[in-house]
Structure 1
Amino acid sequence: MMILLILLLLCLSIASLYYYLWFHLGWGSLFSEESIQPPRPLVTDKRTRDKVLKQGFSQDKIPANLDALIIGSGVGGLSAAVALAKAGKKVLVLEQHDQAGGSCHTFQEHGYEFDVGLHYVGQMHEGGMFRVIMDQLTDGQLQWNRLGDQYDSVIIGHKVYKVYAGKHEFPDALKKQFPGEEEAIDKFVSLMKKVARHVPLLAALKIIPQFIALFILKTGLLHRLSPVFHLTESRHQDVVEKLTSNKDLQTVFSYLFYGVPPNDSSFMINALLLHHYKRGAWYPRGGSSEIAFHMIPVVERAGGAVLVNASVTRILLNKGRATGVAVQRKDKEICIYAPVVISDAGIFNTYGQLLPPEVRIKPEVESLLSNLQYGMGCFLVFVGIRGTSDELGLQSTNLWIYSESDLNSMMEKCKSMEWEEICQELPLMFITFPSAKDPTYSQRHPGHSCMTLLTMAPYDWFQQWSGQKPRHRGDEYQRMKMKLAEHMVERAIKEFPQLQNKIDYMEAATPVSNEHYLRAPKGSMYGAEQNCSRYQCEIVSKMRSQTVVPGLYLTGQDVFSSGVAGAVHGGLLCASASPYISSYYYI
């Protein structure tokens, strides 16, 4: 038994080392130091940017002899595309929206620019794991601006707690704010480190053959290999309650909400999120659309293309194998063929919308989908403000506002409250100032700044307008969303009274907005629900890039985890699973 255990540990270690070294450090991989070029000046000309981000679909723009097709241009799709392009493969990325980038695209209205999904990213310090990855994916052209050391404030009722970056500063600041809780904080930080060190083993669980993963799981050997598997399956609330009874400290340990209450979320995910920002928080110079703007040229240099306004209606199959996709164009369908098809559309869209019923009813597909839920939706308010961030004294610090310290009851309340109720009582809200995070904002939009507000929002509130086009949903829809938006802006002004009478523009996005622009099922923020059920080790193993359809692969958030970092890792796992790279790098 001991020999078997050692062999299994060796197998997982080799797989995780393979993933870490080849994709993170560039040792003997597609990534290389030579690809990193000195950053060129920021491109602000709209026409120049549109040529990259808004290359419209037409049949004559489809490259010949494609190696791969990718559905969706979110960072999960683009990361996989760049990795394949660096392997010399010709890839076509198809995006249904009018610009590339997915949740990392931006839009401009009335002289203001807003990001729609990226608020800040961690691990971007020089030599940091994620910095190395992003440098390689953009050939070193994507530049980052570090937020202040105090990058987050957590407001619980009338109390304010500050979160600082730094290996020692993070726990030391918490200890000063929670005297008597030093032991609990030290234990929590220790668990964070343990999760961060061992998380490559979760990637390994998706790389090794699935029958091996399920074998070591069913025999009980998996949990003896590393504590990360137990922490992954443990509810966050159960772990923090063993550390402390202080409700405010429990909330600070759990404040980075993603739609799942602590009593239904994985401890591993919450700990990993906090550890992600431990060395600081960063924002792309020039805005979040810079990510796609610098990834797309890498794809194009290999002969590929990223085309927008290309709505994929179905995945083409021949004798059960994926052979291409169909794109709907007015009154006709255009079929495009490639030996590899990759979907960044999410697991629900891929199996539920793009594949025929005979695939969806396969037992292994039904079993997997039955263990997943649709993610929670969100409500966003985009606010244009007269005056620069410097003039108004706006900082890069983000605010997480909670009406009480019981996040479980608060989030349940959000899910069950009627729309009219939440307009009177707002349980939680996030406030951020993108213009204060990016020093180029005032140069690109003189005399302007912007604010983004976010809260959770059940899809049911706006479901009756699903399928209707933006700006054609009627007066009742507009009245509903702007009433909540105004209430959220009033709450923000309580924190920033200098914004009174400075609001110049306001727009709101609901779950049906996300459903339309991002094809997010039921307007979900982060793909399939990031709850504890999803992070049971058996589901972790099955949520991999390979699908039941030969030639079809998944990428993005549903492959690994949520957010920009999770989607990028999903893209790299997808690329490593493809025949082009898995055979190129034989373990």
Structure 2
Amino acid sequence: MYVLWILLIPFFLSIVLLYFYFRLYYGWGSLFTEECIQPPRPLVTDKKSRDKVLKQGFSQDKIPPNLDALVIGSGVGGLAAAAALAKAGKRVLVLEQHDQAGGSCHTFQEHGYEFDVGLHYVGQMHEGGMFRVIMDQLTDGQLQWNRLGDQYDSVIIGHKVYRLYAGKQEFPDSLKNQFPGEEEAIDKFVTLMKKVARHVPLLAMLKMIPHYLALFLLKSGLLHRLSPVFRLAESSHQDVVGRLTSNKELQTMFSYLFYGVPPNDSSFMINALLLHHYKRGAWYPRGGSSEIAFHMIPVIERAGGMVLVRAPVKRILLNNGRATGVAVQKKDKEICIYAPVVISDAGIFNTYEHLLPPEVRNTPEVDSLLSSLQYGMGCFLVFVGICGASDELGLKSTNLWIYSESDLNSLMEKFQSLEWEEVCEQLPLMFITFPSAKDPTYSQRHPGHSCMTLLTMAPYDWFHQWSGQKPRQRGDEYQGMKMQLAEHMVERAIKEFPQLQGKIEYMEAATPVSNEYYLRAPKGSMYGAEQNCSRYQCEIIGRMRSQTVVPGLYLTGQDVFSSGVAGAVHGGLLCASAVLNKILYIDLLMLKKRLKRRIRQRRS
């Protein structure tokens, strides 16, 4: 241990010196302050007022002059990077190919119902929590959150129902009550979960330090001595939990937050982070998930930037190998827009394979990185409109995860081999959630209406023959195929919630090619590059950073850090840190400490 501390002292000294170097050279002012947090204004429900923010259409005369940066894509990763840069006074133009901003956090309305498309719930939004501090700063405190009930998730395994409860002590205690005799395994898992959560900032460090230093730490063996998080990142989730318990159902409870990868090929670190993310509770945006973009965009605009939609970027412009701007395709002509910094929220595959010329994609450095990654799993979503308010129907904010058996590795292997009819009839895994029950404003905005979202995994190959075709032009075979699965999923949901019988008024389904069309998600992937063990090898972690092989070009979003809303936001902060040459997390940590001190004083 003494030797380890001798090794750590120079490392931490270098981090401190690096921090003060950046602060002295680039200015002492913090981007993040308590003063920017304003009292929340009333919820804006007027469609025209919201469209002015979320659906500002692209035209050449709207391009701000003297841009500091361009962002391709308005997903939460792109908006987070743009908002952080705007806090530094940078003029940023965000370009979105869809007809509204927000990426997977946008919503749509049909037949009087409103549906979210990607955000189902978010953790760590408790007062003083780091993610809450981050989101407050990126929205000036205007984004409000509604906490779900203490019992935020239920998991059905075969015919048994297990429940997850929020709270530092309630979380493990509830598991112990449901799995008597497994107390030691649960305690060990929670200990590992805490260890991962405490040490995960070191992964961000690995992406921010110079790449040559990251390689030195890796090849010298010092990296794994610094923290156990690097070993846990590379470890299979199944290997770790298999050593804790042989109880398959408890193993499933340690793995139930499904993102398309079986436990034997997923990183233990990611699964542990996901469970820890909700340990203090789960939250949902008041007003729906589109509120995230609605409140980030004004921060960008205040610095002179814009977020423009219907602006499909066709290529990144290069000059002597440096990114200098983008070309937007409008009808039969290209409109070139220039800026010294170009940021891509389009994902690592889209960026290198479609937006850059082949000679960049084929460089050994890029080719070896992309060869180490896989396209992520697609999903199949069903959006259901229900007659009646959520409270009248007894619908709760609790999410329901359904697995037909306890061995998730075997289940997912079987899933891949099933014929279409078998998938529809057996439905090996499914997720059910009621967005209208999570948001108390839903009943005010859509009186007498409720909504339900159903989800299952869906390999892209099921629907690849319709790739590239526009919605509603894919023919009867496509429509019949997707609605066949949708109807079976609704029938399964009604078994769990019989009060919905006869109440369903609207139903629509989205396939991986829907995600590919509306979100430009490669092969309809839910969470960017596959979240498997290969991606979380330390060498790949160090290379999956914001800086690219092209000077002036940066990446943001899920592929930079990890999956989901939180992962995409952290990708945005890492990107902004790289562009600004500031370690933004240090400012955030200092702000968080000040806020927690105020909270303690207020409560004492």
Task: Give your verdict on TM over 0.5.
Answer: yes
Residues 56 and 261 from structure 1, CA distance in 2 versus in 1: closer, same or farther, beyond 3 angstroms?
Answer: same
SS of aligned partner of 1:469: coil
Deviation at 1:12, TM superposition (A): 7.7
Deviation at 1:9, TM superposition (A): 3.7
Name the structure 2 match of 1:454. Answer: 455
Name the structure 2 match of 1:368. Answer: 369
Q: In the alignment, is the contact (CA less than 8 A) between 1:192 and 1:272 conserved in 2?
A: yes
Name the structure 2 match of 1:318. Answer: 319
Q: In the alignment, is the contact (CA less than 8 A) between 1:15 and 1:208 conserved in 2?
A: no
Deviation at 1:133, TM superposition (A): 0.3
Name the structure 2 match of 1:343. Answer: 344
Name the structure 2 match of 1:205. Answer: 206
SS of aligned partner of 1:534: helix
Please give the alpha-carbon distance, in whole angstroms, between the structure 2 residues aligned to 1:15 and 1:442. 53
Instruction: Find out whether 1:99 has 2:100 as its counterpart.
Output: yes
Instruction: Find out whether 1:548 has 2:549 as its counterpart.
Output: yes
Please give the alpha-carbon distance, in whole angstroms, between the structure 2 residues aligned to 1:510 and 1:480. 10
Deviation at 1:420, TM superposition (A): 2.3
SS of aligned partner of 2:39: coil
Kindly provide the CA deviation profile for residues 25-81 of structure 1, in whole angstroms up to 9, marking residues without a partner as x. xx9520111100000000000000000000000000000110000000000000000
Please give the alpha-carbon distance, in whole angstroms, between the structure 2 residues aligned to 1:15 and 1:373. 38
Q: In the alignment, is the contact (CA less than 8 A) between 1:98 and 1:308 conserved in 2?
A: yes
Instruction: Find out whether 1:5 has 2:7 as its counterpart.
Output: yes
Name the structure 2 match of 1:36. Answer: 37
Residues 402 and 73 from structure 1, CA distance in 2 versus in 1: closer, same or farther, beyond 3 angstroms?
Answer: same
Deviation at 1:579, TM superposition (A): 4.1
Q: TM-score, normalised by structure 2?
A: 0.94
Deviation at 1:275, TM superposition (A): 0.2
Name the structure 2 match of 1:252. Answer: 253
Residues 340 and 585 from structure 1, CA distance in 2 versus in 1: closer, same or farther, beyond 3 angstroms?
Answer: farther
Please give the alpha-carbon distance, in whole angstroms, between the structure 2 residues aligned to 1:509 and 1:72. 21
Q: In the alignment, is the contact (CA less than 8 A) between 1:87 and 1:580 conserved in 2?
A: no
Name the structure 1 match of 2:597. Answer: none
Name the structure 1 match of 2:142. Answer: 141
SS of aligned partner of 2:533: coil
Name the structure 1 match of 2:595. Answer: none
Amino acid at match of 1:352: E
Name the structure 2 match of 1:154. Answer: 155
Matches within 5 A, 1:57-96: 57-96=58-97
Q: In the alignment, is the contact (CA less than 8 A) between 1:13 and 1:201 conserved in 2?
A: no
Please give the alpha-carbon distance, in whole angstroms, between the structure 2 residues aligned to 1:137 and 1:239. 36
Name the structure 1 match of 2:531. Answer: 530
Deviation at 1:425, TM superposition (A): 1.2
Please give the alpha-carbon distance, in whole angstroms, between the structure 1 residues aligned to 2:489 and 2:17. 47
Matches within 5 A, 1:204-283: 204-283=205-284
Deviation at 1:327, TM superposition (A): 0.3
Please give the alpha-carbon distance, in whole angstroms, between the structure 1 residues aligned to 2:548 and 2:565. 23
Amino acid at match of 1:511: P
Deviation at 1:414, TM superposition (A): 2.3
Residues 583 and 406 from structure 1, CA distance in 2 versus in 1: closer, same or farther, beyond 3 angstroms?
Answer: closer
Q: In the alignment, is the contact (CA less than 8 A) between 1:9 and 1:225 conserved in 2?
A: no
Please give the alpha-carbon distance, in whole angstroms, between the structure 2 residues aligned to 1:141 and 1:342. 25
Please give the alpha-carbon distance, in whole angstroms, between the structure 2 residues aligned to 1:228 and 1:473. 46
SS of aligned partner of 2:374: coil
Matches within 5 A, 1:299-310: 299-310=300-311
CA RMSD, 1 decimal = 1.9
Kindly provide the CA deviation profile for residues 429-469 of structure 1, in whole angstroms up to 9, marking residues without a partner as x. 00000000000000000000000000000000100000000
Deviation at 1:409, TM superposition (A): 1.3
Please give the alpha-carbon distance, in whole angstroms, between the structure 1 residues aligned to 2:575 and 2:268. 25
Name the structure 2 match of 1:464. Answer: 465
Name the structure 2 match of 1:405. Answer: 406
Kindly provide the CA deviation profile for residues 251-291 of structure 1, in whole angstroms up to 9, marking residues without a partner as x. 00000010000000000000000000010000000000000
Please give the alpha-carbon distance, in whole angstroms, between the structure 2 residues aligned to 1:370 and 1:404. 33
Deviation at 1:6, TM superposition (A): 2.5
Kindly provide the CA deviation profile for residues 308-341 of structure 1, in whole angstroms up to 9, marking residues without a partner as x. 0000000000000000000000000000000000
Q: In the alignment, is the contact (CA less than 8 A) between 1:101 and 1:289 conserved in 2?
A: yes
Matches within 5 A, 1:416-565: 416-565=417-566
Residues 296 and 15 from structure 1, CA distance in 2 versus in 1: closer, same or farther, beyond 3 angstroms?
Answer: farther
Please give the alpha-carbon distance, in whole angstroms, between the structure 2 residues aligned to 1:203 and 1:370. 23
Residues 166 and 583 from structure 1, CA distance in 2 versus in 1: closer, same or farther, beyond 3 angstroms?
Answer: closer
SS of aligned partner of 1:170: helix
Please give the alpha-carbon distance, in whole angstroms, between the structure 2 residues aligned to 1:144 and 1:28. 29
Residues 585 and 91 from structure 1, CA distance in 2 versus in 1: closer, same or farther, beyond 3 angstroms?
Answer: farther
Residues 480 and 12 from structure 1, CA distance in 2 versus in 1: closer, same or farther, beyond 3 angstroms?
Answer: farther
Deviation at 1:11, TM superposition (A): 5.9
Kindly provide the CA deviation profile for residues 337-387 of structure 1, in whole angstroms up to 9, marking residues without a partner as x. 000000000000000000001100111101100100000000000000000
Kindly provide the CA deviation profile for residues 67-99 of structure 1, in whole angstroms up to 9, marking residues without a partner as x. 000000000000000000010010000000000
Please give the alpha-carbon distance, in whole angstroms, between the structure 2 residues aligned to 1:580 and 1:363. 27
Deviation at 1:418, TM superposition (A): 2.8
Deviation at 1:217, TM superposition (A): 0.3
Amino acid at match of 1:482: M
Deviation at 1:221, TM superposition (A): 1.1
Q: In the alignment, is the contact (CA less than 8 A) between 1:467 and 1:516 conserved in 2?
A: yes
Q: In the alignment, is the contact (CA less than 8 A) between 1:68 and 1:338 conserved in 2?
A: yes
Amino acid at match of 1:373: Q
Please give the alpha-carbon distance, in whole angstroms, between the structure 2 residues aligned to 1:583 and 1:235. 31
Residues 582 and 389 from structure 1, CA distance in 2 versus in 1: closer, same or farther, beyond 3 angstroms?
Answer: closer
Please give the alpha-carbon distance, in whole angstroms, between the structure 2 residues aligned to 1:17 and 1:205. 15
Please give the alpha-carbon distance, in whole angstroms, between the structure 1 residues aligned to 2:492 and 2:575. 42
Q: In the alignment, is the contact (CA less than 8 A) between 1:296 and 1:305 conserved in 2?
A: yes
Please give the alpha-carbon distance, in whole angstroms, between the structure 1 residues aligned to 2:154 and 2:431. 10
Deviation at 1:159, TM superposition (A): 0.1
Matches within 5 A, 1:18-33: 29-33=30-34
Amino acid at match of 1:5: L
Name the structure 1 match of 2:289. Answer: 288
SS of aligned partner of 2:463: helix
Residues 271 and 11 from structure 1, CA distance in 2 versus in 1: closer, same or farther, beyond 3 angstroms?
Answer: farther
Please give the alpha-carbon distance, in whole angstroms, between the structure 2 residues aligned to 1:583 and 1:172. 36
Please give the alpha-carbon distance, in whole angstroms, between the structure 2 residues aligned to 1:581 and 1:201. 16
Please give the alpha-carbon distance, in whole angstroms, between the structure 2 residues aligned to 1:584 and 1:301. 23
Please give the alpha-carbon distance, in whole angstroms, between the structure 2 residues aligned to 1:583 and 1:283. 26
Q: TM-score, normalised by structure 1?
A: 0.96
Please give the alpha-carbon distance, in whole angstroms, between the structure 2 residues aligned to 1:519 and 1:93. 16
Please give the alpha-carbon distance, in whole angstroms, between the structure 2 residues aligned to 1:60 and 1:356. 28
Please give the alpha-carbon distance, in whole angstroms, between the structure 2 residues aligned to 1:35 and 1:2. 41
Q: In the alignment, is the contact (CA less than 8 A) between 2:573 and 2:584 conserved in 1?
A: no
SS of aligned partner of 1:399: strand
Q: Percent identity?
A: 85
Please give the alpha-carbon distance, in whole angstroms, between the structure 2 residues aligned to 1:16 and 1:516. 43
Kindly provide the CA deviation profile for residues 399-426 of structure 1, in whole angstroms up to 9, marking residues without a partner as x. 0000000101111222332322201211
Residues 582 and 10 from structure 1, CA distance in 2 versus in 1: closer, same or farther, beyond 3 angstroms?
Answer: closer
Residues 441 and 2 from structure 1, CA distance in 2 versus in 1: closer, same or farther, beyond 3 angstroms?
Answer: closer
- Say how many residue pairs are matched: 580
SS of aligned partner of 2:534: coil
Please give the alpha-carbon distance, in whole angstroms, between the structure 1 residues aligned to 2:509 and 2:403. 21
Residues 454 and 338 from structure 1, CA distance in 2 versus in 1: closer, same or farther, beyond 3 angstroms?
Answer: same
Deviation at 1:4, TM superposition (A): 7.1
SS of aligned partner of 2:70: strand
Q: In the alignment, is the contact (CA less than 8 A) between 1:234 and 1:266 conserved in 2?
A: yes
Q: In the alignment, is the contact (CA less than 8 A) between 1:15 and 1:204 conserved in 2?
A: no
SS of aligned partner of 1:380: strand
